[in-house]
Amino acid sequence: MLKLLFSPLVSLFVFTLGSSLFTTLVILRLHEAHFSSLIIGAMTSAYYAGLVIGSFRSERFILRVGHIRAFSFFASLLAVICIAQGMYVEPWFWLLLRMAGGFATAGLFIVIESWLLIIGDIKTRGKVLSFYMVTLYAAQGIGQFLINFGSPAELTLFALAAMLSSLAVIPLSITKIGQPEISEPVSLSFLELYKLSTSGVIGCLCSGLILGAIYGLLPLFLTQSLPNLTLVSVFMALTIFGGMALQYPIGKLSDMVDRRIVLIIISCLVTAISIFSIFAFHYIWVSALALFIFGGLTFTLYPISISYACDSLSSSHMVAATQGLLLTYSIGAAIGPFISPIFMHYFGKDGLFIYFCCMSTFMVCFFLWRKTQSPAPVQEDTFVVMPLTTPITAELDPRTE
């Protein structure tokens, strides 16, 4: 199986390296050009809006032209977008490009995830998903260090991101694996999903509101708080690696006790670490540890919310519900970078962590209230780490067997 996984995972790793670099680079370039946090947040919102549209609208194009050609198209489009943004800095132009970039990114993820889906069968889907998650998080973390290869004000880093996007085509284009098939997403209305698992929907929405702001505004906060770009890249990488490191320990804990209690505890800890982080940046390595823990806690909110929702669902609803919850998360991720700059406008750079504190406090209050309104469902399914990419990953979820 590893031989079959090699090409898609290498393409995923190379593409995500460039995507991770470019996501942070866009924020740093706008900051150097003296744009406000509201403009920077809007760029991230535009990206997630494109990602949502692409996740549910690019399948027909992929099926019409074929997976390899579609992957080449989306990768080439991203390369052009990277170079174009490096050559010309104009907010409205960048907003359109960020949305197009989100659409293209969704297309690339769908192609790779479709390939992984045909490699893994019912018995091996969990293992395939694990390889996928490790590759994704490792590339996201390592990609942050590429910021140190140039200045955000120059074209070098934009060209590097474009090169990585183009290089990602090579491993997949020479694979001998057959052409994947994409099934049409099963429909499940938001109202039905909300009735089936109110806490799961709110948990996914709030995790999107938090994680969207982390990807969209945390690099700006770090740039304003740390003396150089090297430390910015290190702190961003620590946040992502923290998310990777604590997923399984916290996930396994959620298998043993009521997941709502775990969500309440995590939300309380996020509130505490958010308040602590405001003061911790007077001491660099204390703040580094704080961000590692912060990333570890916040990155678990989405998969535990998904797991909680799955406890209330029948197997026939599982794929459709997981896809709907991903959409809910994505909507939150698009809104979060738009709201959080308002806090930064009124409270300065520390407003970002005040925003995180407000979101997590709301989650604590909501889950405490829901705990009094309905009993916990029987936890028949184990925790599964889920990527925040496209609806195709719902079919990789071993709980959908």
DSSP codes joined into one string, 123-182 = TTHHHHHHHHHHHHHHHHHHHHHGGGGS-TTSSHHHHHHHHHHHHTHHHHHT--PPPP--
**CA–CA separation, 334 vs 330, rounded Å?**
6
141: domain CATH number is: 1.20.1250.20
Domain shared by 213 and 341, yes or no: yes
Domain shared by 203 and 136, yes or no: no
Domain shared by 137 and 198, yes or no: no
How many domains would you assign to the chain? Answer: 2
Best CA proximity match to 161, nearest among 240, 84, 100: 84
In this prediction, residue 395 carries a pLDDT of 46
Domain shared by 232 and 158, yes or no: no
Structural domain includes residue 180: no
> 369 with 246: CB under 8 angstroms?
no
SS3 state at 194: helix
Q: What are the structure tokens assigned to 57, written together?
A: 């609208």
E strand spans, 228-378: none
> 388 with 320: CB under 8 angstroms?
no
Structural domain includes residue 3: no
Domain shared by 261 and 157, yes or no: no
In this prediction, residue 187 carries a pLDDT of 58
Q: Which residue has the tokens 């989405």?
A: 302
Domain shared by 129 and 259, yes or no: no
Domain boundary among 173, 202, 221: 173
Q: What are the structure tokens assigned to 1, written together?
A: 């199986």
Structural domain includes residue 181: no
| Intervals of the chain under pLDDT 50 | 391-392, 394-396, 398, 400
Domain boundary among 173, 200, 219: 173
Domain boundary among 139, 173, 207: 173
Structural domain includes residue 270: yes
Q: How far is residue 61 from each of residues 70, 78, 184, 316, 353, measured CA to CA in Å?
A: 7, 16, 13, 27, 40
Domain shared by 248 and 273, yes or no: yes
Domain shared by 214 and 354, yes or no: yes
In this prediction, residue 45 carries a pLDDT of 93
Domain shared by 21 and 130, yes or no: yes
Domain shared by 149 and 197, yes or no: no
In this prediction, residue 200 carries a pLDDT of 85
- Return the sign of the alpha-carbon dihedral for residues 215, 220, 223, 226: negative
Domain shared by 214 and 95, yes or no: no
Range of the domain at 383: 190-400
> 43 with 95: CB under 8 angstroms?
yes
In this prediction, residue 317 carries a pLDDT of 62
> 164 with 75: CB under 8 angstroms?
no
What is the phi/psi pair of residue 364, to 5°? -60, -50
In this prediction, residue 276 carries a pLDDT of 95
Q: For the chain, what percentages of helix, strand and coil (3-state, to nearest 5) are there?
A: 80, 0, 20
Domain shared by 167 and 283, yes or no: no
In this prediction, residue 63 carries a pLDDT of 78
Q: Which residue has the tokens 């050559």?
A: 87
